[in-house]
Structure formats: structure tokens, C-alpha cells
Amino acid sequence: MCTGDFTTAATALLTDNAAIFGGTPLWARPQDTILAADRQEVCGPHIRTPEGLLFGSSYFAVYRRTVLDEVQQRCSVTLDKYTAANLDTIADSLQCFLKDHDAWRSDYTPGKLLNAGLTYLGQPVTYADFDDLIHIGGYSMATFQEQVSTGQKPANPAAIQTMLGFNEYRGHMDRKLAVCERTMRSFARIDETGKPWRGGQRLPDEVEDQIRVVEDLYARQAHLVAG
């Protein structure tokens, strides 16, 4: 959600970078954004390796088109999800680069491999969070799970099933699901009564503050979306 104009700051970063990324989920802690050595699945909140190799994100991403075309061609990589079933399709040189940087894994959420390919090609990239851009994180996954549990037909089952196709336990999931439950219930309550839901567990203060900004924005704008 946008609470103001972040485009000026984002555009300025493109002056010196081939791509910019952002949108860290509001529930994520710093340790959630670093790919641990024992992890085999590179997930959404994983922004970089401990050595600093940038995976970026698909939450907010802007690429220079010429560079995007170049990395796809030279590295034989796309913005798709990669697993053991299709990792052998990417360029050998990129595979070697990832292994040399302790970033070779069995599963990569969409965009991560391509973004690493930009660094392999020597293209400057950066990651930045903007005060006026709030990313809830996992909302579509949570609504999918809610639809399944209530017997509804999910709006986009193929895409969400892809997001759910991870097997490793991730320590951030309890926080992620708590935020998503709060957001879903609040949006529904606002639709019904105009006031947010305040049940469930109290979220950490910094998360609670951002959630309340989101709730206030939704309460003021929901009628425009519904219309």
C-alpha cells in the first residue's frame, strides 16, 4: 500500500542502478532477510546472502529493460520459480557463480535467480525500503488458505499453490500468519462496520503501528475500490 509518493526517491536510484528492489514485509525481522547456510529454499523475504549477494525481491522491483533482456539471454534465466526440476536449464556460468558465492540452492522463489544474475553480469543493483510503501507480505497466500478452509474456489489457485510449494520450516511464519489474520479480519470488519478488528494477539509495536496505518488507509479508500 502507498501512503504517499515514493516514486521520486525510487526513480533517483535508477540513475546509478540497473535494477532496484524493495518492499520488505512489515512482519520481517533482519534475520529473516538473510539466507542462512542451512536453508535450501530461497524464499520471498530472503534479500541477500551473509556475504552480501543480492537476491532482491519480487515485492517491488524495477528493471532497466535492456539489462533485463540481457540477463535473460546470457544467463538463460527468467523471472519464474526454479526448483531441482528446472535448475539445469540456467547457464552453467551462472550456476558456477552461485556455487562460488555459497548461493546454490534447490529452490528459488520467482525472480531470485534472475536478480542474482544481474550481479553476475556486473550490473549495479540496490535494495531500498521506502517509508511511503508498506508491504503486508503473504496476504494473497493467507486469503487462499482462508478460501480453501471455507470451501470457496480460490481466485488464482495455480499462482498461490506455487507460493505454498515450500517444505522447509521458516521461523517467520507465525509472525507472518498473525499479521495476515489481523489484516484479513480488519478489512472484513471495516467492510461491515467501518471499524477495524482488534482481536487476536497484540503485535510488536513497530508492526502494530504500520498495521494501523494500513487499516486507516483501507477504511478511507475501501469504498473507492468497491466502486
Domain ranges of the chain: 7-127, 139-226
pTM metric for this prediction: 0.84
Q: What is the mean pLDDT of residues 133-142?
A: 83
Whole-angstrom distance, CA of residue 131 vs CA of residue 143: 26
Give me the phi and psi of 225, to 5 degrees please: -70, -45
pLDDT range class, residue 12, cuts 50, 70, 90: very high
Q: What is the pLDDT of residue 168?
A: 52
Report the chain's terminal Cα–Cα distance, integer Å: 18
Cβ atoms 162, 58 nearer than 8 A: no
Name, in order, each residue with C-beta under 8 angstroms of 127's C-beta and a sequence gap of 6 or more. 20, 21, 22, 47, 48, 54, 56, 57
Q: What is the pLDDT of residue 6?
A: 94
pLDDT range class, residue 137, cuts 50, 70, 90: confident
Q: What is the pLDDT of residue 177?
A: 85
Q: Quick one: which of 35, 7, 36, 37 has its CA closest to 22? A: 7
Query: Counting Cβ atoms within 10 Å, is residue 170 exposed (0-12), middle (13-18) or buried (19+)?
Result: middle
Cβ atoms 34, 142 nearer than 8 A: no
Q: Is residue 92 pLDDT above 60, yes or no?
A: yes
* Mean pLDDT score of the chain: 87
Q: What is the pLDDT of residue 221?
A: 81
Give me the phi and psi of 79, to 5 degrees please: -85, 10
pLDDT by residue (tens digit) across 157-200? Answer: 454 445 445 555 566 778 888 898 899 999 999 999 999 998 87
Q: Is residue 54 pLDDT above 60, yes or no?
A: yes
